[in-house]
Amino acid sequence: MSGLSQRQEYILGLIIREYVKAANPVGSKVLVDGYDLNVSSATVRNDMAALEDEGLIHAPHTSAGRVPTEAGYRYFVQKLLGDTELSSTEKRMIRHQFHQSKYDVEQWLRLAASVLAKTTRTASLVTTPQVVEARFKHIELICTQGRMVLMVLVLEGGAVRQQMLSLSEPVLQDKLSEAAAHINTLCTGKLAGWIRSHLHQQPTLEQEIMGLAAELLDRAGIWHRAVYSDGLLNFFAPQYLADRQDVTPERQRETTTSEPVEADQLGARQALHILEEQSLLEEILADALTPDAEGVQVMIAGEGRWEELSHTSMVLSRYGHSQATGALGVLGPTRLHYGRAISAVRYVAGLMSDMLIEVYGEEDHFAGES
């Protein structure tokens, strides 16, 4: 891509902002009448033609205005958007909501999803924090019938795992309780590897239980995370314009049969599909939020890797601590208010991280799904 002039970059930014606001193809007259460009419509048309040659905008049909392409959105986010922040008033209101629900992580997750959806007027997602290395806290053994025993394993941070065990021979509850007490004294705060390396020194029953507990600890970091979402009703608002104060009913009606609206609807359906298919969502999050990824990540139309996101954008971030992290973000059609989405995701992620550290401590381990 050849270098754009400063004016061409400015015009591209205006086209994207106008299109995001009203879902109408943007013509040169809109830009000349609405902004102090100090150039003629013909000059603007020439610049728009250059942007189209670069693949950053295109015309939905003959004699129409222009709409951004995937490449145009990426150029805008990477080079033109700059630093964006929520207002101090919005930050104060969001922070106040979180502090009203202190020490309730599940409520924070629901609140984070709600805040993101309301702030960006699209769908949101928040996953529970997931431990990197699960540590043993305590175990309970409950005799059910015959050789069957219910093992309840509690991890540091409060996550709970349950599993039915079939022991080699029936064991009375008193003996199970005694074995559980011994294991708790021995294993509290330990990792699976330590437990596995010390189980051979224990009696047969304790060996069996400790081996199974180590397996559950190994698996704790890869269990599916719970996903909290909000804002799905935004997808059913007419072209996302119902709540916008700056768009008239006439402009809403102009979009009812346009290509932009069809793209919005397809993007909304794709976003719903992603939220419904947790295995797909987990795969996308793992790809977007790699260990070396820093800050907010923006995925536009799947970045050419995800056919399921061909008309969808996702703005994502990790939150949490080195020992446990979750993911949060917003998603919807590519006609997204990127600046607001990025600033909201960044702020809520930072707030969630700070609050979890405050509750669990810098070196403690966060709860995984419960």
Q: What is the DSSP string of 302-340?
A: GGGT-GGGTTEEEEEEEEEETTEEEEEEEEEES---HHH
Phi and psi, residue 213, nearest 5° = -65, -40
Domain contains 370: no
The H-or-E segment that residue 125 falls in is strand 123-127
Same domain? 184 vs 289? no
Please tell me the predicted confidence (pLDDT) of residue 290.
78
String of DSSP letters for 48-91: HHHHHHTTSEE-SSTT--BEE-HHHHHHIIIIIS------HHHH
Domain extent for 50: 6-80
Same domain? 236 vs 175? no
Alpha helices in 203-311 (DSSP H): 204-220, 249-254, 259-276, 278-288
Please tell me the predicted confidence (pLDDT) of residue 120.
94
Domain contains 313: yes
10 Å CB burial of residue 172 (0-12, 13-18, 19+) is: exposed
Same domain? 106 vs 241? yes
Question: Is there a contact between 300 and 71 (Cβ–Cβ < 8 Å)?
Answer: no
C-alpha span between 211 and 198 (Å, rounded): 10
Q: 55-60 long-range CB contacts below 8 Å, 24 or more apart?
A: 55/1, 56/12, 57/12, 57/15, 59/25, 60/25, 60/258, 60/259, 60/260
Radius of gyration of the chain (CA): 26
Please tell me the predicted confidence (pLDDT) of residue 361.
59
String of DSSP letters for 20-52: HHH-SPBPHHHHHHHS---S-HHHHHHHHHHHH
CATH number at residue 36: 1.10.10.10
Domain contains 277: yes
Of 220, 248, 272, which residue sits at a domain end?
220
C-alpha span between 184 and 177 (Å, rounded): 10
pLDDT tens string, the chain, 370 residues long: the values are 568 999 999 999 999 999 998 888 999 988 998 888 888 889 999 999 999 999 999 988 766 789 999 999 999 999 999 888 899 999 999 999 988 876 677 888 999 999 999 999 999 999 988 766 778 999 999 998 888 999 999 887 667 888 888 888 888 999 999 999 999 999 998 999 999 999 999 998 999 999 999 988 877 655 456 788 998 888 776 554 434 444 444 444 444 445 667 888 888 899 999 998 888 888 888 888 877 778 999 999 988 888 889 999 999 999 987 667 889 999 999 999 999 999 999 999 999 998 878 765 554 443 333 3
Same domain? 278 vs 340? yes
Please tell me the predicted confidence (pLDDT) of residue 22.
83
Same domain? 178 vs 277? no
Domain contains 365: no
Same domain? 61 vs 17? yes
Same domain? 235 vs 257? yes
Phi and psi, residue 201, nearest 5° = -90, 0
C-alpha span between 334 and 310 (Å, rounded): 9
Please tell me the predicted confidence (pLDDT) of residue 62.
66
Same domain? 207 vs 350? no
CB atoms within 10 A of CB 290: 11
Same domain? 247 vs 328? yes
Domain contains 110: yes
Please count the structural domains in the chain. 3
CB atoms within 10 A of CB 363: 9
C-alpha span between 356 and 279 (Å, rounded): 26
Domain contains 215: yes
Domain contains 368: no
CATH number at residue 171: 3.30.390.60
Same domain? 116 vs 187? no
Of 46, 80, 114, which residue sits at a domain end?
80
C-alpha span between 21 and 278 (Å, rounded): 31
Domain contains 367: no
Of 152, 187, 220, which residue sits at a domain end?
220
DSSP-derived 3-state class of residue 363: coil
Question: Is there a contact between 136 and 151 (Cβ–Cβ < 8 Å)?
Answer: no
CB atoms within 10 A of CB 30: 17
DSSP-derived 3-state class of residue 107: helix
Half-sphere exposure of 323 (CA within 13 A, CB side): 17
Same domain? 251 vs 114? yes
C-alpha span between 299 and 317 (Å, rounded): 11
Same domain? 121 vs 99? yes
Please tell me the predicted confidence (pLDDT) of residue 255.
42
Please tell me the predicted confidence (pLDDT) of residue 132.
65
